[in-house]
Structure formats: structure tokens, C-alpha cells
């Protein structure tokens, strides 16, 4: 495994505390995961 924690949120959804707007953010897994976990990491949500 690499030099950092393997912690990642593929999707986050929350209400902004000031504006009250609902925010949704999506991000693919870090590229390093391909090395650490193999090609299966790209298949994660």
C-alpha cells in the first residue's frame, strides 16, 4: 500500500449550512489506487 491512507468518498451530498442549497460532489478514485489495488479500483462507484 502507498504512503497515505486509502480513504475516499466517491459521492458526497449535503446541504450548505449558509445558503441551504443541496450540494452533490462526485470524484473518481485516486490514480494511485490502480497501483495499490489493481485495475479493480477503477470499477469502484
pLDDT confidence of residue 12: 94
pTM of the model: 0.52
Residue 44 has pLDDT above 70, yes or no: no
Which of 2-6, 12-16, 31-35 has the weakest average pLDDT?
2-6
Query: In the predicted model, is pLDDT for residue 40 greater than 70?
Result: no
Asked whether the CA dihedral 8, 10, 43, 35 is positive or negative, the reply is negative
- Each residue's pLDDT tens digit, 8-30: 888 999 999 999 999 999 988 88
Dihedral sign computed on CA atoms, order 5, 36, 29, 3: positive
Amino acid at each position: 500500500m502507498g504512503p497515505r491512507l486509502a480513504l475516499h468518498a466517491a459521492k458526497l451530498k449535503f446541504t450548505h449550512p449558509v445558503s441551504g442549497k443541496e450540494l452533490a460532489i462526485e470524484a473518481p478514485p485516486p490514480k494511485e489506487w490502480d497501483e495499490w489495488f489493481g485495475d479493480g479500483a477503477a470499477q469502484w462507484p
